[in-house]
Protein backbone atom coordinates (compact mmCIF):
# COMPACT_ATOMS: atom_id res chain seq x y z
CA UNK A 1 0.00 0.00 0.00
CA UNK A 2 1.30 3.44 -0.92
CA UNK A 3 2.20 5.52 2.10
CA UNK A 4 0.52 8.87 2.58
CA UNK A 5 3.37 11.36 2.40
CA UNK A 6 3.67 14.45 4.56
CA UNK A 7 2.65 17.63 2.79
CA UNK A 8 4.56 20.88 3.06
CA UNK A 9 3.29 24.22 1.78
CA UNK A 10 5.57 27.13 1.06
CA UNK A 11 5.21 30.32 -0.95
CA UNK A 12 1.61 31.28 -1.75
CA UNK A 13 0.41 28.06 -0.12
CA UNK A 14 1.98 25.88 -2.83
CA UNK A 15 2.59 22.26 -1.74
CA UNK A 16 6.03 21.18 -2.97
CA UNK A 17 6.82 17.61 -4.06
CA UNK A 18 10.63 17.59 -4.39
CA UNK A 19 13.71 19.69 -3.71
CA UNK A 20 13.55 21.41 -7.09
CA UNK A 21 10.05 22.69 -6.36
CA UNK A 22 11.14 23.58 -2.83
CA UNK A 23 13.90 25.79 -4.20
CA UNK A 24 11.60 27.51 -6.67
CA UNK A 25 8.91 28.18 -4.05
CA UNK A 26 11.33 28.84 -1.19
CA UNK A 27 9.79 30.90 1.61
CA UNK A 28 12.25 31.70 4.45
CA UNK A 29 9.61 32.09 7.18
CA UNK A 30 7.67 28.99 6.14
CA UNK A 31 10.83 26.86 5.86
CA UNK A 32 12.01 27.84 9.34
CA UNK A 33 8.56 27.14 10.80
CA UNK A 34 8.56 23.68 9.19
CA UNK A 35 12.09 23.12 10.50
CA UNK A 36 11.15 23.96 14.09
CA UNK A 37 8.01 21.83 13.99
CA UNK A 38 9.87 18.82 12.58
CA UNK A 39 7.72 18.77 9.45
CA UNK A 40 10.66 19.59 7.20
CA UNK A 41 12.60 16.51 8.33
CA UNK A 42 9.50 14.32 7.99
CA UNK A 43 8.87 15.67 4.47
CA UNK A 44 12.47 14.84 3.48
CA UNK A 45 12.38 11.30 4.90
CA UNK A 46 9.07 10.51 3.21
CA UNK A 47 10.77 11.29 -0.10
CA UNK A 48 13.96 9.37 0.77
CA UNK A 49 16.15 12.46 0.95
CA UNK A 50 18.01 10.73 3.78
CA UNK A 51 21.23 12.77 3.62
CA UNK A 52 19.33 16.04 3.76
CA UNK A 53 17.07 14.73 6.53
CA UNK A 54 20.07 13.68 8.62
CA UNK A 55 21.64 17.12 8.16
CA UNK A 56 18.41 18.83 9.25
CA UNK A 57 18.09 16.52 12.24
CA UNK A 58 21.59 17.50 13.43
CA UNK A 59 20.70 21.22 13.63
CA UNK A 60 19.62 22.46 17.06
CA UNK A 61 16.35 24.35 17.04
CA UNK A 62 17.89 27.21 19.05
CA UNK A 63 21.09 27.42 16.97
CA UNK A 64 21.66 31.10 16.08
CA UNK A 65 22.96 29.95 12.67
CA UNK A 66 20.09 27.53 12.10
CA UNK A 67 18.79 29.35 9.00
CA UNK A 68 22.18 29.21 7.31
CA UNK A 69 22.60 25.53 8.17
CA UNK A 70 19.11 24.65 6.94
CA UNK A 71 19.86 26.33 3.62
CA UNK A 72 23.16 24.46 3.34
CA UNK A 73 21.41 21.15 4.02
CA UNK A 74 18.82 21.86 1.32
CA UNK A 75 21.34 23.18 -1.21
CA UNK A 76 19.76 26.63 -1.24
CA UNK A 77 21.75 29.89 -1.28
CA UNK A 78 21.26 31.46 2.13
CA UNK A 79 22.05 34.99 0.98
CA UNK A 80 19.37 34.96 -1.72
CA UNK A 81 16.63 34.54 0.88
CA UNK A 82 17.93 35.68 4.28
CA UNK A 83 20.61 38.29 3.56
CA UNK A 84 19.54 40.38 0.58
CA UNK A 85 22.27 42.96 1.24
CA UNK A 86 25.01 40.35 1.09
CA UNK A 87 23.48 38.84 -2.05
CA UNK A 88 23.52 42.26 -3.68
CA UNK A 89 27.18 42.67 -2.70
CA UNK A 90 28.02 39.34 -4.37
CA UNK A 91 26.50 40.61 -7.61
CA UNK A 92 28.56 43.80 -7.32
CA UNK A 93 31.77 41.85 -6.77
CA UNK A 94 31.04 39.59 -9.72
CA UNK A 95 30.56 42.63 -11.95
CA UNK A 96 33.83 44.16 -10.68
CA UNK A 97 35.74 40.98 -11.44
CA UNK A 98 34.22 40.72 -14.91
CA UNK A 99 35.52 44.22 -15.64
CA UNK A 100 39.00 43.27 -14.42
CA UNK A 101 39.49 39.82 -15.96
CA UNK A 102 38.00 37.22 -18.26
CA UNK A 103 39.34 34.36 -16.10
CA UNK A 104 36.25 32.32 -15.27
CA UNK A 105 37.93 30.60 -12.30
CA UNK A 106 38.38 34.01 -10.63
CA UNK A 107 34.91 35.32 -11.48
CA UNK A 108 33.25 32.17 -10.14
CA UNK A 109 34.77 32.89 -6.72
CA UNK A 110 33.19 36.33 -6.47
CA UNK A 111 31.28 35.31 -3.35
CA UNK A 112 34.49 34.54 -1.45
CA UNK A 113 36.45 37.51 -2.79
CA UNK A 114 37.26 40.54 -0.63
CA UNK A 115 37.90 43.90 -2.28
CA UNK A 116 38.28 45.73 1.03
CA UNK A 117 38.52 45.12 4.77
CA UNK A 118 34.72 45.15 5.18
CA UNK A 119 34.36 42.35 2.62
CA UNK A 120 37.05 40.41 4.46
CA UNK A 121 35.30 40.89 7.81
CA UNK A 122 31.99 39.66 6.36
CA UNK A 123 33.63 36.51 4.97
CA UNK A 124 35.43 35.84 8.25
CA UNK A 125 32.11 36.20 10.11
CA UNK A 126 30.75 33.51 7.78
CA UNK A 127 33.70 31.29 8.75
CA UNK A 128 34.82 30.82 5.14
CA UNK A 129 37.96 28.62 5.03
CA UNK A 130 39.27 30.10 1.74
CA UNK A 131 39.20 33.82 0.98
CA UNK A 132 40.48 35.57 -2.15
CA UNK A 133 42.02 39.01 -1.64
CA UNK A 134 41.70 41.52 -4.47
CA UNK A 135 43.01 44.84 -3.19
CA UNK A 136 46.10 46.68 -1.99
CA UNK A 137 46.11 46.13 1.80
CA UNK A 138 44.39 43.79 4.24
CA UNK A 139 44.67 43.09 7.96
CA UNK A 140 44.40 39.39 8.67
CA UNK A 141 43.62 38.18 12.21
CA UNK A 142 46.02 35.71 13.76
CA UNK A 143 43.36 34.40 16.18
CA UNK A 144 41.26 32.74 13.46
CA UNK A 145 42.84 29.41 12.61
CA UNK A 146 42.49 27.07 9.62
CA UNK A 147 42.34 29.83 7.02
CA UNK A 148 43.76 30.18 3.54
CA UNK A 149 44.16 33.63 1.95
CA UNK A 150 44.99 33.94 -1.75
CA UNK A 151 45.88 37.16 -3.52
CA UNK A 152 44.26 37.55 -6.95
CA UNK A 153 44.87 40.06 -9.73
CA UNK A 154 47.76 41.50 -7.73
CA UNK A 155 49.83 40.89 -4.62
CA UNK A 156 48.19 42.69 -1.68
CA UNK A 157 50.16 43.73 1.39
CA UNK A 158 49.20 41.78 4.49
CA UNK A 159 49.32 42.95 8.07
CA UNK A 160 49.16 40.14 10.62
CA UNK A 161 50.27 39.90 14.25
CA UNK A 162 52.49 36.87 13.79
CA UNK A 163 56.06 36.66 15.07
CA UNK A 164 57.24 33.87 12.79
CA UNK A 165 56.31 31.56 9.96
CA UNK A 166 56.19 28.74 12.51
CA UNK A 167 53.32 30.51 14.28
CA UNK A 168 51.34 30.61 11.03
CA UNK A 169 51.98 26.89 10.55
CA UNK A 170 50.84 26.08 14.08
CA UNK A 171 47.57 27.90 13.48
CA UNK A 172 47.18 26.38 9.98
CA UNK A 173 47.09 29.79 8.32
CA UNK A 174 48.23 29.78 4.69
CA UNK A 175 48.82 33.03 2.80
CA UNK A 176 49.57 32.82 -0.93
CA UNK A 177 50.52 35.40 -3.54
CA UNK A 178 50.66 38.20 -0.96
CA UNK A 179 53.33 40.43 0.57
CA UNK A 180 53.90 39.42 4.18
CA UNK A 181 55.55 41.62 6.82
CA UNK A 182 59.07 40.69 7.95
CA UNK A 183 59.02 37.76 10.35
CA UNK A 184 61.29 35.01 11.56
CA UNK A 185 61.81 32.19 9.09
CA UNK A 186 60.95 28.64 9.95
CA UNK A 187 63.82 26.95 11.76
CA UNK A 188 65.18 23.78 10.11
CA UNK A 189 64.59 20.59 12.05
CA UNK A 190 67.51 19.56 14.28
CA UNK A 191 69.97 17.05 12.86
CA UNK A 192 69.46 13.53 14.16
CA UNK A 193 71.80 12.61 17.00
CA UNK A 194 73.95 9.58 16.22
CA UNK A 195 74.03 7.13 19.06
CA UNK A 196 77.18 5.07 19.44
CA UNK A 197 77.28 1.55 20.78
CA UNK A 198 80.72 0.75 22.20
CA UNK A 199 80.07 -2.98 21.97
CA UNK A 200 79.29 -3.01 18.25
CA UNK A 201 81.06 -1.91 15.10
CA UNK A 202 78.93 0.30 12.85
CA UNK A 203 78.02 -0.91 9.40
CA UNK A 204 79.51 2.27 7.93
CA UNK A 205 82.88 1.46 9.52
CA UNK A 206 82.80 -2.10 8.19
CA UNK A 207 81.95 -0.86 4.69
CA UNK A 208 84.86 1.60 4.81
CA UNK A 209 87.28 -1.13 5.82
CA UNK A 210 86.06 -3.45 3.07
CA UNK A 211 86.39 -0.71 0.46
CA UNK A 212 89.95 0.07 1.59
CA UNK A 213 90.85 -3.62 1.39
CA UNK A 214 89.51 -3.94 -2.13
CA UNK A 215 91.68 -1.07 -3.30
CA UNK A 216 94.89 -2.57 -1.86
CA UNK A 217 97.08 -4.14 -4.58
CA UNK A 218 98.31 -7.74 -3.96
CA UNK A 219 102.00 -8.07 -3.02
CA UNK A 220 104.12 -9.45 -5.87
CA UNK A 221 106.54 -12.22 -4.94
CA UNK A 222 110.14 -11.69 -6.02
CA UNK A 223 112.36 -14.61 -7.05
CA UNK A 224 116.15 -14.27 -6.74
CA UNK A 225 118.55 -16.33 -8.91
CA UNK A 226 121.48 -17.68 -6.92
CA UNK A 227 124.84 -16.26 -7.90
CA UNK A 228 127.09 -18.41 -10.13
CA UNK A 229 130.59 -18.97 -8.76
CA UNK A 230 133.38 -17.46 -10.90
CA UNK A 231 134.82 -19.73 -13.59
CA UNK A 232 131.93 -22.18 -13.50
CA UNK A 233 129.78 -20.63 -16.16
CA UNK A 234 129.95 -19.43 -19.77
CA UNK A 235 130.65 -15.92 -20.83
CA UNK A 236 127.07 -14.91 -20.02
CA UNK A 237 127.50 -15.98 -16.42
CA UNK A 238 125.53 -19.19 -16.80
CA UNK A 239 126.97 -22.67 -16.62
CA UNK A 240 126.81 -24.62 -19.85
CA UNK A 241 124.83 -27.77 -19.18
CA UNK A 242 124.84 -28.78 -22.81
CA UNK A 243 121.28 -27.53 -23.57
The mean pLDDT of 21-41, rounded to a whole number, is 90
140 by Cβ neighbours in 10 Å (0-12 / 13-18 / 19+) ranks as buried
17-21: list long-range contacts, CB under 8 Å, 24+ apart.
17/47, 18/47, 19/49, 19/52, 19/74, 19/75
Cα separation, 186 vs 169, whole angstroms: 9
The mean pLDDT of 221-225, rounded to a whole number, is 54
In this structure, is the dihedral angle defined by the CA atoms of residues 63, 64, 65 and 66, taken in order, positive or negative?
positive
Which of 122, 160, 126 shows the shortest CA–CA distance to 143?
160
Q: Which comes out higher in pLDDT, residue 28 or 240?
A: 28
Domain extents in the chain: 11-82, 84-176
pLDDT score for 11:
77
pLDDT score for 140:
94
Residue 17 pLDDT more than 80? Answer: yes
Residue 159 pLDDT more than 50? Answer: yes
pLDDT score for 243:
47
Which of 129, 24, 150, 16 shows the shortest CA–CA distance to 75?
24
Cα separation, 107 vs 59, whole angstroms: 32
Residue 231 pLDDT more than 60? Answer: no
Sheet with 173-176: list strands edge to edge.
Answer: 113-114, 130-133, 147-151, 173-176
pLDDT per residue as tens digits for the range 72-104: 899 887 776 777 788 788 889 999 999 999 999
DSSP annotation of 207: H
The total of other beta-carbon atoms located within 10 Å of residue 59's CB is 18
Share of the chain residues as helix, strand and coil, in percent rounded to the nearest 5 = 40, 10, 50
The mean pLDDT of 182-206, rounded to a whole number, is 62
Does this model's pTM top 0.85? My answer is no
Residue 177 pLDDT more than 70? Answer: yes
In this structure, is the dihedral angle defined by the CA atoms of residues 33, 39, 44 and 47, taken in order, positive or negative?
negative
The mean pLDDT of 52-70, rounded to a whole number, is 91
* Segments in the chain forming alpha helices (H): 19-24, 28-37, 39-46, 50-57, 66-74, 78-82, 84-100, 104-107, 117-125, 165-170, 203-215
Cα separation, 22 vs 28, whole angstroms: 11
Cα separation, 82 vs 79, whole angstroms: 5
The mean pLDDT of 105-121, rounded to a whole number, is 93
Cα separation, 172 vs 162, whole angstroms: 12
Which of 134, 127, 126, 124 shows the shortest CA–CA distance to 94?
134
Amino acid sequence: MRKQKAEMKLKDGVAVRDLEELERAFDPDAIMNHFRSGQLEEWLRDRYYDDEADAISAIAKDDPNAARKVCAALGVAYEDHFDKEFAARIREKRKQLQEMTSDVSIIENARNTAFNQQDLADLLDLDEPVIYLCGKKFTVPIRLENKRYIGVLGTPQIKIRADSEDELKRKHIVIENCQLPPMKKSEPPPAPVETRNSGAISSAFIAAVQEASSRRQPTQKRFFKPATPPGTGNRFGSKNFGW
